[in-house]
Structure 1
Amino acid sequence: MSASYTSPSCYLMWALLSCTLFAFLIYHLYSFDRFKCLKWNDGPHSGAFKRVMTYSYFLTIPLFMVYAVGFSVIKYKEGYIALPSVGIVPAPYDTWSPTARSFHFPLMLCFAIAWSLEMVTHLQELCFWLFLVSADADRNHWFSSHYFKAWIMGSIFAILYMPIIAICTRENALKATCTFLAGSLGSLLLTILFMPILRKLPALLDNLRAEGADDGTIIRLTKFHELNTIRVTFRYLFTIPLLILGSSGLNPPQHVTGNTFWSDLCAFAAAIGCTASSGITLIIFFPRSVESEVSRQSARQRESESCQSKSPDLDLSSKQYVISTSSETVAMGKCVTITRPPPIRPNRLREEDVELGGIGTPPPHYGIPNVPSMQPNRKTGDEVELGGILSPASTTLNFSDVEPSGRSNNHTFVNSTIYSYTSPISCVLLHPSCVNMN
C-alpha cells in the first residue's frame, strides 16, 4: 500500500478503523483495571519485561492511527488528477504540494515503527507458547530459557530493520513499498510459525484433563485457543494483501498497484485484518474477568452501604459487619468494616485418586498432608483402654504428592507454568508452582 497508488477512500477506511481500535483500547483498559496496568509500578510483578510489553503494545495502535489519519488528510487534499493515457487517478506523489511531501517520510516512519512493535508483540507470544509446550518440568523458568533469548534477539532485529528500510527509501516515494514488503514478510513468517502451536493445543487440553487440571485452567486455555485461531486468520488477511502490494510495487509491470480496484481491495482487506487481529491481541494480553469485576463491584457497594448505615449491630446474615468503635468515631462519620473471608471451596477429587469408604480427608487445595487421627481413652468394663495416635489409613490419598492446583505431580508432558496462565505478559512473572489467581 503506497501513498502514490491508493485512493483517498482507502486511507479514510484505515483512519476510521484505527480510530475505532484506539477507542476500544481506551475502553478496554479502563474496564480492565482503570488504567492501572499503564502505571510504572503496577504491583509487585511489574518488572522491565512487563513494562516493555505493555508500553510497546500501547504505542502501536496510536502510531497506526497517526499514519492513517495523516495520509487520509493528504490524499483528500491533493485529490485526483487526469492522465492522458491512464485516466482519472489519485494524484501521484510528484504532483503533491511541498507541505504534503514533507509529511510523507514522518508518516511512513510512524507506520514502520508501529509495525516493528507489533512484530515484537507477536514474537513474544510465539516464543512464550513454544516455551510452554516444549519445556521440561525441571527447566520451567521463562527468563532463563533460550526462547526468551530468541525473543530478545528477534525484537532487536525487528525494531531496527523496519525503521532502517523506511529511512533508506525516504528519497523515493515509489520505493516506499519496500517497507510494506519487509513488514509483511516478517509478520507472515511469525504467523506461519504459530500454526504448530494451534495444532498442539487440542492435544494439550486433553492431556491437562487427564492430569486432573482445574476447570479454570481448561476454560482459559480453551478461550485462548479459540481467540487465537480467529486472530491468526485475520493476520493472514493483514499480511498477504500487503505482501502482494509490496511485491507488485517493485516490479515494472505494476499489475496490482497500477489498478485502482485491486490496490484498494488489498488495502481494505489489510485494514480489516490489522484492526481485528490487534483487537483480539488486546483481549488476550489484558484478559477481563466479568465475574471478578461484578464481585468487586458488589463488594464495594455493600461496603459503602454498611458505612452509610453506621449501625453498631452485627448483621450475621451478611458477609460484612459494621462496628462503631466509639461515639467519637460515629460523630466523625467513620466506620470499620470487617470482611469475612470467602469460604474455601476444595477441588473435587477424581474417583481414581481416592477409594470410596475412606475416612474424611482434607482436599488437596488446603495443602495439608495426610494427618494421623487420635483415639481417646475408652473404658471397657473394669479396664481402661488407652488411646493413642493412629497411623493414616492406607486407603486415603497422600496429599503431600498433590500440588496446590489439585493435580498430581506425575505430569511430565507440559510446563507447570501453564496451570497459572492468564496472560502472556503477566503469568510468566509468577512462580511456576503458583496457584490459580482467578
Structure 2
Amino acid sequence: MSHSSPATYLVWSILVSLSCLFLLFHLWSFDRFQCLKWNTGSSGAFKRVMTYSYMITVPLMMIYAYGFTIIKYQQGFIEFEGAIIPKPYNLWPESDQRVIFPLMLVFSLAWGLEMITHLEELCFWFFLVNSGSVQQDWFRSWYFRSWIFGSVVAIVYMPLLTIATRDDPLRCEAYTVLGGSLGSLSLTLWFTPVLYAFPTFLDSLKREGVDIGTIVRLTKFHELNMIRIVFRFIFVIPFIILGVDGIKPHHHINEIMLWTDFLIMIAAFGVCISSALTLIIFFPRSIEGEIALKDAARERRLNRANGGRSGTGAPYGQTSFSSGMPGGQLPAPSQQRYSLDGSSFSLPQKYEDERGMPESLPKILPPMRPNRRRGEDVEMGGFTGLTEANISQHNMRRVPSGKLNPMVHNFRSPIDLYEVEPQLAFTQRW
C-alpha cells in the first residue's frame, strides 16, 4: 500500500469497474435482473446466499480500489535518498491515515466473500463428480456441510486478521494479503483433482445415455473452470510473494516499486477475469432461449398492432385466406385485406415484407417425424421442437441411471440445482 504507486490502484479501479459493467450486462441479458430479487420463483436460501455473497464482493472491491486511488493520487510522490518514491503513509494527513483501516477491512470482507464463492464451487463439483444414485441430495451431503463450515471460517477469520493487526498499517496489509492468498491458494489447489477427474466423469455420462445438451453444458463448464483456475493462480501467487515479504523484517520486494506494481497489477487481472468466469458459470445464458423470447415478443407486438386479433380460436383446416375483393383481385399492397373466420382486417405492407404472411394467422403444430431406417439402424421419430427441460425429463425416464445421480439430467448451474430454466421466469415481461 505504502510502497505501490498511484497507477497500481488506478489499474485496480479500471478493472473492477469493467467487471461491474460486465456483471450488469450479463445479468440483464440473463433474466433482466430477476435473479437479484429476494423472492424469485422457487429460489431457496442457498441460492440467495450464493447470489448476494457474489454480488456484494464487486462493490466492496470498488470501494477499496477507488478509496486508495484517490488517496494515492492526492499524496503523490516524494524524493528520498535521491529516488522518487510514493509518499509513505506516515507522512499522510491524519484524515487520510484514518481511512486506511476501514478500506483494509472492506478489502478483507470482500476477500472472505470471494472465498465463500470459490469454496462452494469446489465442494459442489466434488459432489457432482463423486455422487452416485444413492447420494442424490446436495443439501444433505457432507460436501454441503463442509461448505457451510468453511464459509463461516472464511467470513470470520479474514476481518479478524485485519482487526488484530490494525495498529501497524503495513503489518495489517501484509497479514491480510498473506492470510487471504493462502486461503485462496488452498482452494485452488484442491480444485485441480476435479479438473483431472472431469473428463472421466463426462465419459461416464455418455455411457449412461445422458442427453447431448447436458454433456455439452458440462463440457463448457469444464473448459471454463480450467481457464478460471489458471487465472486464480495468477491472482494468488503474486499476493503470496508480497505477503511473505511483507511480514519479514527486511522487505526485498515491497521496497522496489517496479516489482510491487507489477505483482499487484497481475493479481488484479487474475481476480477480475476469474470472477467474470465464475459469473458465467453461476448464471449461464441460453442464447437459443433468448432468441425465442425475442421472437415471441415481436409476435405479441404485431398482434397488438393488429388490434389483438390473433385468430387462435380458428380450428385448423377451417381458416380461410382470401383477398376480400370481388373476382379475386388484390388491392394495393398498403390496402391488402384478409379474412379469418368471417372477420376482415388489413395489415400494413411492412408486416408482409418482414414475415411473408400475416402474423395473425394460426401457427402450424410442430411436425411429427416418422421412424426412418438408416442402414442397419432405425432413427426414432417424434415431435420436433422439444424444450431442453422436456428432453431432460424424457431421458430421466428412459435411461436406467443405476450409477448416475438424477440431478445430472436437469443440471443448469452450481447454484441453480433444481429449478427450471431462468428465462422462463421473465417470459411474461416480454
TM interval, shorter chain, is: 0.7 to 0.9
Query: Matches of residues 233-382 of structure 1 in structure 2 within 5 Å?
Result: 233-310=230-307, 312=309, 314=311, 343=366
Q: Are 2:117 and 1:121 equivalent residues in the alignment?
A: yes
Q: For the structure 1 residues 261 and 297, does the alpha-carbon distance in structure 2 shift closer, same or farther, using more than 3 Å as the test?
A: same
User: For the residues of structure 2 that align with 1:345 and 1:7, how far apart are their CA atoms?
Assistant: 67
1:204-257 CA-partner distances (Å, limit 9, x unpaired) = 112212222111101101110111111110000000000110111011221111
Among 158, 161, 167, the alignment partner of 2:163 is 167
Distance in structure 2 (CA, Å) of the matches to 1:338 and 1:422? 36
SS of residue matched to 1:88:
strand
Structure 2: segments with no counterpart, 5+ residues: 320-338, 344-359, 387-391, 426-430
TM-score (structure 1 length as normaliser)? 0.78
1:414-433 matches, within 5 Å, as 414-426=404-416, 428-430=417-419
Over 3 Å counting, the alpha-carbon distance change for 1:404 and 1:97 in structure 2 is same
Structure 2: distance between partners of 1:405 and 1:35: 31
Give the aligned residue type for 1:419. Answer: H
In structure 2, the CA distance between the partners of 1:317 and 1:292, relative to structure 1 (3 Å rule), is farther
Alignment check: 8 A CA contact 1:136 1:413 kept: yes
From the two aligned structures, give the one with the greater helix fraction.
2
- Tell me, what secondary structure is at the counterpart of 1:137? coil
The amino acid across from 1:192 in the alignment is: L
Contact 2:372 2:378 in 1 (8 A): no
2:135 matches 1:135:
no
Q: Does 1:32 align with 2:55?
A: no
Distance 2:340 2:362 in 1: 15
Q: For 1:217 and 1:311, locate their aligned partners in 2 and report how far apart those are by CA, in whole Å.
A: 39
Q: 1:153 maps to which residue?
A: 149
Alignment pair present for 1:67 and 2:57: no
The letter for the 2-side match of 1:404 is H
Distance change (3 Å), C-alpha of 1:340 and 1:81: same
Unaligned runs of 5+ in 1: 328-336, 367-401
Segments of 4+ moved more than 3 angstroms = 311-318, 337-346, 348-351, 355-358, 360-363, 406-414
1:407 is displaced (CA, Å) by 7.3
* Contact 1:131-1:147 at 8 Å conserved across structures: yes
Give 1:64 shift: 0.6
The answer to whether the Cα contact below 8 Å between 1:12 and 1:68 also exists between their aligned partners in 2 is yes
**One-letter amino acid of the structure 2 residue matched with residue 343 of structure 1:** P
Describe the SS at the equivalent of 1:103: helix
Instruction: Say if 1:106 and 1:344 are closer, same or farther in 2 by CA, change over 3 A.
Output: farther
Deviation at residue 152 of structure 1 after TM alignment: 0.4
Q: How far 1:420 sits from its partner (Å)? A: 1.5
- Do the aligned residues in 1 keep the contact of 2:188 with 2:232 (CA within 8 Å)? yes
**Aligned-partner residue type, residue 299 of structure 1:** A
Q: Give me the CA root mean square deviation.
A: 3.5
Aligned: 1:192 with 2:189? yes
Where does residue 391 of structure 1 map in the other structure?
none
Measure, in 2, the Cα distance between the counterparts of 1:151 and 1:425.
Answer: 13
Q: Which amino acid aligns with 2:124?
A: F
1: distance between equivalents of 2:372 and 2:151? Answer: 44
